[in-house]
Amino acid sequence: ILATLLGLPRMCAPPSMVNTEQRQHAEHIFLSFRKSKSPFAVCKHILGKCPSNKIASKHFSIMFSLLSPPSLQKYVREQILLAVAVIVKRGSLDKSINCKGIFHEVSQLISSGNPTVQTLACSILTALISEFSSSSKTSNIGLNMEFHGSCKRIFQEDNLRQIFVLTMEVLQEFSRRENLNAQMSSVFQRYLALANQSTQNVMLKPTETWREALLDTRVMDLFFTVHIKIREDSDMAQDSLQCLAQLASMHGPIFPDESAQVSYLAHLVEGLLSMINGIEIEDSEAVGISNIISNLISTFPRVILTALPSELFTSFINCLTLLTCSFGRSAALEEVLDKDDMVYMEAYDKLLESWLTLVQDDEHFPRGCFVQPAVQVFNSYIQCHLAAPDGTRNLTVNGVASHEEDEINELQEDDRELFSDQLASIGMLGRIAANHCIPLLTSLLEERVTRLHGQLQRTQQHLMNSSNPGSVDRKVLDDLYEDIHWLILVSGYLLADDPQGETPLIPAEVMEYSINHSTEVDINTTLQILGSPGEKASSIPGCNRTDSVIRLLSAVLRTSEVESRATRASLTELLSPQMGKDIVWFLKRWAKTYLLVDEKLYGQISIPLSTAFGADTEGAQWIVGYLLEKVINNLSVWSSEPELANDTVELLVCLVEKRERANIVVQCENWWNLAKQFASRSPPLDLLSSSVQRTLMKALVLGGFAHMDSDTKQQYWTEVLHPLQQRFLNLINQENFPQICQEESVKREIVATLEALCGIAEATQIDNVASLFSFLMDFLSSCIGLMEVYRNTPETINLIIEVFVEVAHKQICYLGESKSMKLYEVCLTLLQVYSKNNLGRKRADVAAEEDQYQDLLLIMELLTNLLSKEFIDFSDTDEVFRGQEQGSGAAGRSVSAADVVLFGVNIILPLMSQDLLKFPSLCNQYYKLITFICEIFPEKIPQLPEELFKSLMYSLELGMTSMSSEVSQLCLEALSPLAEQCAKTQEKDTPLFIATRHFLKLVFDMLVLQKHNTEITVAAGEALYTLVCLHQAEYQELVESLLATQRDAVIYQRLADAFNKLTASSTPPSMDRKQKVAFLKSLEEFVSNVGGLLCVK
Amino acid sequence: MRHRRPKCARPTHPGSGTKGVLIIYLGLQTPVCEWKDAASGSSLKTNIVGCNCVKTVYMPLIHRTMADTDLDFTTGESGASATIPMQCSALRKNGYVVLKGRPCKIVEMSTSKTGKHGHAKVNMVGIDIFTNKKYEDMCPSTHNMDVPHIKRNEFQLLNITDGFMSLMGDNGDVREDLRVPDSDLGKEIEQKFAASEDILVSVLSAMGEECAVAIKQMTGGK
């Protein structure tokens, strides 16, 4: 290999420098070298290390000709070219290589007309682009990042456009040819890919200098022509469509003015329309075309879009409409055929998203211009989701597809989540065309509910007459369920939004629609239809004069009623839990927006809506009662369907979490029945899963804070919370409790109580925390006793800790000093008992590790929750407890958060292992906790026992260097307070002082020498500054030893200057906020100035 | 004190295959064993001592004589049944369930359904709390599953003789019917015992089966 190494440059040398013999020898070596097994590696090595760049550069042409034989393997060739690109890059360092020369060579290769040579030229350009582009593709050649960066800039400014022009030439040439043979087309493909790459930014924002090259209409025409030529080849078609999508995203300074932008867009749209209209779209084109449209709509400002000639704009919208409908149908077909690659689905999603963008800016466009398109897209969506004869669901060319029922596991998202984007767009379009869509949904749903009712009745008859329950044909039912499923989902998305946290408003379009028709509406009939979900809507006289918005809700209520009646007729087996979920989901979404509609929030309000659902209306009261009945029915019938039960109980929470709604709820007798029933812990409610029971408890507690007179309130609590306490106390106060505690019935009672406590804690709000805290505190003390009794029963211990976690999580932020103190005390006792019972315990059963992991996680959560008080504190010197608090307060108490937390850390640290840190949740929680501790109680750190201290410091180092960037940031944040602590005590040679010295080096290296995430620069900078303050001498040493390694005088000087500047504003460094800020600013400059110099790639 | 053990699979042992009880009379230096066949009522003296495999009744000899023949065969189990039924949906992860006749801790629980409009089924993975074997089961979520009664008791280790532990409970009763488990934990128990360390042994029992599963160093006043 060494001989080859030496031989190659000789061969490449000019004729004057070597004689024939030498050259022949070199050629021989080269040939043998080409035959060798790993030539590319060697070649790369030679070229990369070639002592004379100049020689190499002058003879690219020779190199290229040598590389051109098609016999050479593709991979080999590309590796060699990559090496060439590296040479060019290195050459540009000392300007020894002029790229122009290369481009000259390349353009000659291109004009040669020989496809093989042209392929080579293409490969050269590809290699150059990839080497000069983003840093991730850059080869590792041992130069600093600053060099890479400047190369990229220069390349972008000077060479990229030239490559583009070259590419265009080739494309022109190819597009003129009539037919392309296979080889040519492969060349062609490479050029397309290249054109693609040269404009590889996601959104194209070229500078002014590109104006001439890119705004030329011929460029765009060329790409359209090219696409038509090659569209049958799916790979090439994707490339060419990608190019067009890039052109469709063009924006920025390249446009001299608006009119240029308008005419560019007009040309683009024209080209696009004539392309789409001229072809029958292939599967492989769908995504590409939708990308072009999506880019176009999201990039060009609305004024530019509306400035298009109106005919062109209309054609564009029409084309978009047709395309959306057609993609939607194809997407549905893909689903039926269960294709792996859902190209139409992707394209459909993109187009629907574009529609959403368009109609959200409705006001910019001519009024009503989207109504007809909206109707069409909406109709086609509905059609695709309904069964025949109304719809086309599961229809293929061969008729209805018989698809087998798949196993669906709980991890698979519900359609309402899975298709939430689609549904949101369709819902929005439905609002735009509310006149058409709301009545359509209503009539489709009403008709299906009637059919469902009939079908269930027939099935019941059939079951009564037949001894074989398995003989029921579910096909008809399942088809109806699926129809209703989609109709309810679309209705939900159309009628209401689901903003997280905020109060959702009735969509303006829906409100306007209801107002516009209110004059034709008979309110009494509307209310009658609403209030009689058991009857067929069409059987009510005057049913055509009802408010359509209310009518759509009543259609869903009718569905719900059919379901409830079927459960009462013991037909639960025949029902669809999915439909049950859809119904309560819809009702919750609806109730949040429409129930007790607040007129103050709207400029104008629809009379039918406010009459039916406004505050203090009979309608509102009736519907609350109805919903409550639904919830109770569901909870007793569907305890075996966890998701449905969960959605149901969420509906209940929605009803009571707002005071206004809760006020009505507690007036219902049903509510009291539910409360009593739950308190009695009897079937069917005790069959619910534990999470549902918790949420149910939460709802019951929330309801208790509704407005009631004091007697009623007293009575309510006696019904709800009192039994819980009584049963619990009766049980644990039994003399023989320690003996019977392992009995199954006792254990179940205890578990149920603990679950209920978690639910109660979850119900905490600022206005009920006072009473809930007192109530829960009594339990917490008893729970400590349980820790003793159940010390052998890990699952119970786990649940007990969870209760503490929940209480701390929900309540600590509201607690004043003395209350917090109480909580700290009881938490400390909990930890002490836990620790005592686990000290020296060794478990051999299979669940031991998992149990321990869960305990640890919970304890850390508990500690973090306790600490969070330092950050989030809503307490106002016990204001919420006013009247309860008597005197003394914190005086005389000795437990602080620090005591609890450090005690907890004593438990946790010895148990933490690197293996455990592999659990991401545990790892994050752990680092969150130790950072909190360092920030809040830095003074406690030096007091830790030596072993603990060491493992804490080791944890910090580990977290900084080898965990996620999030963890590393946390650890850096922990350093400043530690260093400040050291500075405060002024003691040298303490373990903490020594540890911080070590961290100085770590942070210094991290900031200066390693490529780091910019996100952590600030955290690292702050840490560095405080550490520098503490260890000024060591810092100087670090700087000097770094400078000493620099051989290049220029770089040395630059670095030295930069370091001087870095600390100039803060000499001598002191822990002063102003100086620190100044330092951070200098650091930013430092990093951008010389950061690239030291980071080598 | 009466305890049950599962049947032995070894064919040479009394009790394998046939119904009956192995009675071991405790209280002497060497326990005396007797096999009582349930079908024939015949009894058979044996010298197999607590082979840790046969359905066994332990009799304190102090209260009974070897001639005592009025042994009640049906009281091999004491008190309530070993399991209770529970609707699948109310089971919880980390809870217990009987899978394939074995008491298991539920380590994984998920639901699934057949078709979008199907009813929920519960899939469970459980680990046998005694053998660590993994079992899986799936059933409609409306069905009931058996939940084993699980007990955990702590005993102070007094003595080890012939591989059997003498354990004293909270109430002062002493039992000597549990073997030192054949595991690392068992070795540790023996070591600690040899080193005269005071330890507590946690005994897990369910469905008539028992095993020592944990130990804890005794601290001060405990």
Q: What is the pLDDT of residues A653-707, one digit of tens each?
A: 999 999 999 999 999 999 999 999 998 888 888 889 889 999 999 999 999 999 8
In this prediction, residue A982 carries a pLDDT of 86
**Which residues, numbered 476 to 535 in chain A, qualify as contacts with chain B under a Cβ-Cβ cut-off of 8 Å?**
477-478, 481-482, 485
Cβ of B184 and A844 within 8 Å?
A: yes
Q: Which residue of B has its CA nearest to A740?
A: B151
Instruction: Give the mean model confidence (pLDDT) for residues A793-808.
Output: 93
Among B87, B65, B132, residue whose Cα is nearest residue A683: B87
End-to-end Cα, chain B, rounded Å: 25
In this prediction, residue A425 carries a pLDDT of 96
C-beta atoms surrounding A578 within 10 Å: 25
The alpha carbon of residue A1080 is apart from the nearest alpha carbon of chain B, in Å, by 50
Which has the minimum average pLDDT: A58-62, B7-11, B189-193?
A: B7-11
Cβ of B202 and A793 within 8 Å?
A: no
Token readout for A21 is: 């013999």
Q: Which of B98, B111, B117, B141 to mutate to test binding with chain A, by most A CBs within 10 Å of its CB?
A: B117
The alpha carbon of residue A793 is apart from the nearest alpha carbon of chain B, in Å, by 7
C-beta atoms surrounding A405 within 10 Å: 13
Where do runs of H (alpha helix) occur along A300-370?
302-306, 310-337, 343-360
Cβ of B114 and A798 within 8 Å?
A: no
The DSSP call for residue A597 is B
- pLDDT band at A190; cut points 50, 70, 90: low
pLDDT of A209 over the 90 cut:
no
- pLDDT band at B35; cut points 50, 70, 90: low
Contacts of B111 in chain A (CB under 8 A): 409-410, 642-643
**Which residues, numbered 126 to 185 in chain B, qualify as contacts with chain A under a Cβ-Cβ cut-off of 8 Å?**
127, 129, 132, 140-142, 147, 149-154, 170, 181, 183-185
In this prediction, residue A10 carries a pLDDT of 43
In this prediction, residue A364 carries a pLDDT of 86
- Which of B149, B151, B214 comes nearest A841 by C-beta? B214
- pLDDT band at A105; cut points 50, 70, 90: confident
pLDDT of A521 over the 60 cut:
yes
User: C-alpha angle A661/A665/A670, rounded to 5°?
Assistant: 160
- Which of A481, A640, A744 comes nearest B89 by C-beta? A640
- pLDDT band at A890; cut points 50, 70, 90: very low
pLDDT of A144 over the 70 cut:
no
Cβ of A405 and B118 within 8 Å?
A: yes
Among A493, A512, A364, residue whose Cα is nearest residue A429: A493
Token readout for A1056 is: 């030295």
Contacts of B170 in chain A (CB under 8 A): 738
Cβ of A482 and B116 within 8 Å?
A: yes
In this prediction, residue A133 carries a pLDDT of 62
pLDDT of A159 over the 80 cut:
no
Q: Of residues A61 and A313, which shows the higher confidence score?
A: A313
What is the share, in percent, of chain A residues with pLDDT greater than 90?
36
- Which of B114, B129, B188 comes nearest A845 by C-beta? B129
Token readout for B132 is: 């660590």
pLDDT of A189 over the 70 cut:
no
Q: Of residues A228 and A889, which shows the higher confidence score?
A: A228
Rounded distance between C-alpha atoms, residue A747 and residue A742, angstroms: 6
pLDDT digits (tens, 9 = 90+) for A919-928: 888 888 889 8
Where do runs of H (alpha helix) occur along A841-990?
848-867, 897-911, 920-936, 946-962, 965-985
In this prediction, residue A238 carries a pLDDT of 80
Contacts of B138 in chain A (CB under 8 A): none
**Which residues, numbered 401 to 440 in chain A, qualify as contacts with chain B under a Cβ-Cβ cut-off of 8 Å?**
405-411, 415
Q: Which of A338, A649, A792 to mutate to test binding with chain B, by most B CBs within 10 Å of its CB?
A: A792
pLDDT of A642 over the 80 cut:
yes
ipTM value? 0.78
Rounded distance between C-alpha atoms, residue B204 and residue B209, angstroms: 8
pLDDT digits (tens, 9 = 90+) for A121-134: 777 777 777 677 65
pLDDT of A56 over the 60 cut:
no
What is the share, in percent, of chain B residues with pLDDT greater than 70?
62
Contact B130, B5 (CB under 8 A): no
Q: Which of B93, B113, B183 to mutate to test binding with chain A, by most A CBs within 10 Å of its CB?
A: B113
In this prediction, residue A1033 carries a pLDDT of 87
pLDDT digits (tens, 9 = 90+) for A820-856: 889 998 998 999 899 888 877 888 777 787 888 889 8
In this prediction, residue A22 carries a pLDDT of 57
What is the per-residue DSSP string for A1037-1085?
HHHHHHHHT---HHHHHHHHHHHHHHHHTTSS--S-HHHHHHHHHHHHH
Cβ of B87 and A406 within 8 Å?
A: no
Find the helix or strand (DSSP H, E) in which A700 lies.
helix A690-703
**Which residues, numbered 833 to 852 in chain A, qualify as contacts with chain B under a Cβ-Cβ cut-off of 8 Å?**
836-837, 839-848, 850-851
Cβ of A840 and B217 within 8 Å?
A: yes
pLDDT of A888 over the 50 cut:
no
pLDDT of A1057 over the 80 cut:
yes
Give B135's strand partners.
B126
The alpha carbon of residue B16 is apart from the nearest alpha carbon of chain A, in Å, by 28
- Which of A415, A639, A795 comes nearest B95 by C-beta? A795
Cβ of B112 and A409 within 8 Å?
A: yes
Contacts of B113 in chain A (CB under 8 A): 407-408, 577
Q: Is A602 left (phi over 0), alpha (psi -120 to 50) or beta?
A: beta
Q: Which residue of A has its CA nearest to B147?
A: A744
Token readout for B23 is: 């009675």
Q: Which residue of B has its CA nearest to A578?
A: B117
In this prediction, residue A322 carries a pLDDT of 95
Cβ of A482 and B117 within 8 Å?
A: yes
Give B217's strand partners.
B199
The alpha carbon of residue B54 is apart from the nearest alpha carbon of chain A, in Å, by 23
Rounded distance between C-alpha atoms, residue A66 and residue A44, angstroms: 15
Cβ of B204 and A642 within 8 Å?
A: no
Rounded distance between C-alpha atoms, residue A290 and residue A344, angstroms: 10
Cβ of B152 and A793 within 8 Å?
A: yes
Instruction: Give the mean model confidence (pLDDT) for residues A58-67.
Output: 49
The alpha carbon of residue B191 is apart from the nearest alpha carbon of chain A, in Å, by 14
Cβ of A407 and B140 within 8 Å?
A: no
In this prediction, residue A835 carries a pLDDT of 86
Contacts of B198 in chain A (CB under 8 A): none
- The residues, any chain, with a CB within 8 Å of residue A463's CB and separated by 6 or more, are A469, A472
Q: Of residues A488 and A250, which shows the higher confidence score?
A: A488
Instruction: Give the mean model confidence (pLDDT) for residues A512-516.
Output: 96
What is the share, in percent, of chain A residues with pLDDT greater than 70?
81
In this prediction, residue A564 carries a pLDDT of 96
Instruction: Give the mean model confidence (pLDDT) for residues A353-382.
Output: 92
Which has the minimum average pLDDT: A534-538, A990-994, A1074-1078?
A: A1074-1078
Among A444, A432, A309, A299, residue whose Cα is nearest residue A383: A444
pLDDT of A624 over the 90 cut:
yes
- Which of B113, B204, B216 comes nearest A840 by C-beta? B216
Rounded distance between C-alpha atoms, residue A1059 and residue A1047, angstroms: 17
- Which of A640, A686, A742 comes nearest B151 by C-beta? A742
User: C-alpha angle A720/A722/A723, rounded to 5°?
Assistant: 80
Contacts of A844 in chain B (CB under 8 A): 181, 183-185, 213-214
Helix (H, G, I), strand (E, B) or coil at B57: strand
Q: Which residue of A has its CA nearest to B220?
A: A836
Cβ of B170 and A738 within 8 Å?
A: yes
Rounded distance between C-alpha atoms, residue B117 and residue B110, angstroms: 17
Contact A747, A741 (CB under 8 A): yes
pLDDT of A512 over the 80 cut:
yes
Cβ of B111 and A795 within 8 Å?
A: no
Instruction: Give the mean model confidence (pLDDT) for residues A34-46.
Output: 47
Q: Does B113 touch chain A (CB under 8 A)?
A: yes
Q: Are strands B20-26 and B32-37 parallel, antiparallel or unpaired?
A: antiparallel
The alpha carbon of residue A306 is apart from the nearest alpha carbon of chain B, in Å, by 44
Write down the mean pLDDT value for chain B: 74
pLDDT digits (tens, 9 = 90+) for A237-296: 887 888 888 888 888 888 888 999 999 999 999 999 999 998 888 888 999 999 999 999
pLDDT digits (tens, 9 = 90+) for A736-767: 888 888 888 898 899 999 999 999 999 998 88
Q: Is A599 left (phi over 0), alpha (psi -120 to 50) or beta?
A: alpha
Contact A104, A166 (CB under 8 A): no
Among A130, A212, A122, A211, residue whose Cα is nearest residue A167: A122
**Which residues, numbered 379 to 408 in chain A, qualify as contacts with chain B under a Cβ-Cβ cut-off of 8 Å?**
405-408
pLDDT of B58 over the 60 cut:
no
Contact A247, A220 (CB under 8 A): yes
End-to-end Cα, chain A, rounded Å: 26
Which has the minimum average pLDDT: A218-222, A481-485, A765-769, A1046-1050?
A: A1046-1050
In this prediction, residue A469 carries a pLDDT of 65
- Which of A410, A481, A792 comes nearest B154 by C-beta? A792
- Which of A415, A645, A690 comes nearest B92 by C-beta? A690
The alpha carbon of residue A1032 is apart from the nearest alpha carbon of chain B, in Å, by 50
Write down the mean pLDDT value for chain A: 82
Type of residue found at A646: N
Q: Is A887 left (phi over 0), alpha (psi -120 to 50) or beta?
A: left
Contact A885, A878 (CB under 8 A): yes
